[in-house]
Amino acid sequence: MKRRTIEEIAKTARVENTHTQMGIPGWALRRRRLERLATLLESAREPVRLFTTMECYRRRERLALRQAGSPLSIAFQDDALRREGLADDSVGAAVDFFGLSMREAHALLCDCGYGGLALIGRPIAHLVASRARGLAAKRSIAELRFRLAEWLS
């Protein structure tokens, strides 16, 4: 394998910094996108449907899950999120786009974490939105490092 610099590779391939996109750090982008999802869910006119027994699927099948009326299908209907790169309304696309771990995706999107409210027909859009905002508020190590460097300078 021949070693090359980023400048050499950039001549033949598109090179992107994975830590920033559009000049925004990854943690800030994640926060903004999750906040947008929460806003969309709160203003949804249709009932929000969650995935059932998401944890029972193998990882590959779980990443391919889609459902009409899910928080992900509501997000995919938004032009702004699609322009930013939301590929489709699957769990895998959401994990990539919103920067979620599989555990976070399960906690946000599966009905088992909402105490059966989805089963008795109660509106849960606001609960899902609240959980999305909770995920958005989580501080990452990268953000703490950025804040510390900003404070020290």
Q: Per-residue pLDDT tens for 101-118?
A: 999 999 999 988 887 665
pLDDT classification of 26: cutoffs 50, 70, 90: confident
| Alpha helical stretches, state H, the chain | 6-10, 26-42, 59-64, 71-76, 79-84, 91-98, 102-109, 125-137, 141-152
* Selection from 21-30, 57-66, 122-131, 137-146 with the highest mean pLDDT: 57-66
Across the chain, what does the average pLDDT equal?
Answer: 85
pLDDT greater than 60 at residue 17: no
Percent of the chain beyond pLDDT 90? 56
Q: What's the pLDDT tens digit per position in 50-100?
A: 998 899 999 999 999 999 999 999 999 999 999 999 999 999 999 999 999
Angle CA 82–48–84, to nearest 5: 10
d(CA 78, CA 34): 13
DSSP reduced 3-state for 15: coil
Distance CA 65, CA 1 (A): 38
Percent of the chain's residues with pLDDT above 70: 84
Average pLDDT (3-24) is 62
| Residue bearing tokens 């994975």 | 18
Compute the distance between CA of residue 22 and CA of residue 35 in angstroms, rounded to an integer.
Answer: 18
pLDDT at 153 over 60: yes
pLDDT at 124: 85
pTM to 2 decimals? 0.77
Which sequence spans correspond to the domains of the chain?
23-152
Q: Residue 58 — φ and ψ, nearest 5°?
A: -65, 160
The secondary structure of residue 46, as a DSSP letter, is S
Q: What pLDDT does 72 receive?
A: 96
Give the chain's end-to-end CA distance (angstroms, integer): 40
Residue 42 has pLDDT above 70, yes or no: yes
